[in-house]
Amino acid sequence: MTDAFGRMLLDRADTEIIERSDGFISTSMLDYFAPVRRWAQVERRALRLVRGRVLDAGVGAGRVALELQARGRNVVGIDVSAGAVEVARRRGVRNVRLLAFEDVDASLGRFDTLVMYGNNFGLFGSPAKARRLLKRFRPFIGRIVAGSNDPYGTDDPAHLAYQERNRARGRMPGQLRIRVRYRDLADPWFEYLIVSPDEMAEILEGTDWEIRDSSATRARTTSPYSSRRSLWKPVSRVSDTGPR
């Protein structure tokens, strides 16, 4: 199995290279190892929304899981990258598993919180997949604390053209097809869904999930495919009114 992302973390490379399906290639400084003091303010603030037993989807090098463990949380980290799992384990994440996000089910037990930091709302992949997974998660996940950049916070012609092509194909504008490249490795292409606040709300319509709290902030860096603004969206179940 190719594991460019995992190899990149194992080597602690300083640059992440992402290729988009239109050939757009971007680099960013790696922040998978960033201690909490270097996180965006919006991510630090959202820590107080994280309760009880936690599932960290896309655990990466474990920066979020480690911080939550330090705060006394019981965390299960999952990642589709074997290298990431190894790195997170080595760095002290106590419970890490090699598991794709779409394979999460009740066999993992009940979680009070699913965290999807660092733009990982994107793991939902597409609106249809998001709704399917949200329905499946309903019985065993209490709330979701997820982040997404806003795809419309850009005036870059290359990004706008990509969004327009997506629209023409009936896809969401921020529905990215991307892959990680590292040295001579290229991971398989995967779908990564970047949504605006309104789009996130639309995806939840007709599910028994709703947005409880959201906040936006300026991102520290210019994100390759999306925006100069970062958006933070805690999404929590309507536990006080019951399923709609």
| Cβ count within 10 A of residue 89 | 16
Nearer to a second copy, 17 or 42 (CB): 17
Query: For the chain, what is the radius of gyration of the CA atoms?
Result: 17
Per CB under 8 A, which region of 16-24, 115-123, 171-179, 201-209 contacts a second copy?
16-24
d(CA 55, CA 80): 14
Residue 225 interacts with a second copy (CB under 8 A): yes or no? no
d(CA 213, CA 73): 21
**Kind of pairing between the strands at 209-211 and 229-237:** antiparallel
Least distance (Å) from a second copy to the CB of residue 22?
6
| Cβ count within 10 A of residue 244 | 10
Identity of the residue numbered 99: L
Least distance (Å) from a second copy to the CB of residue 216?
26
Interface with a second copy (CB under 8 A), residue from 9, 10, 17, 18:
17
Least distance (Å) from a second copy to the CB of residue 157?
9
SS3 16: strand
Interface with a second copy (CB under 8 A), residue from 26, 74, 217, 236:
26
Number of residues that bind a second copy (CB under 8 A): 14
Least distance (Å) from a second copy to the CB of residue 14?
9
Do residues 182 and 4 touch, judged by C-beta distance below 8 A?
yes
| Cβ count within 10 A of residue 160 | 14
Per CB under 8 A, which region of 15-23, 56-64, 131-139, 191-199 contacts a second copy?
15-23
What x/- string results for residues 27 through 66 when contact with a second copy is judged by CB under 8 A? x---------------------------------------
Nearer to a second copy, 9 or 54 (CB): 9
d(CA 55, CA 109): 10
Q: What is the DSSP letter of 188?
A: P
Contacts to a second copy from residues 161-190, by CB under 8 A: 181-184, 186
d(CA 91, CA 68): 13
Q: Which residues bind a second copy (CB under 8 A)?
A: 15, 17, 22-27, 158, 181-184, 186
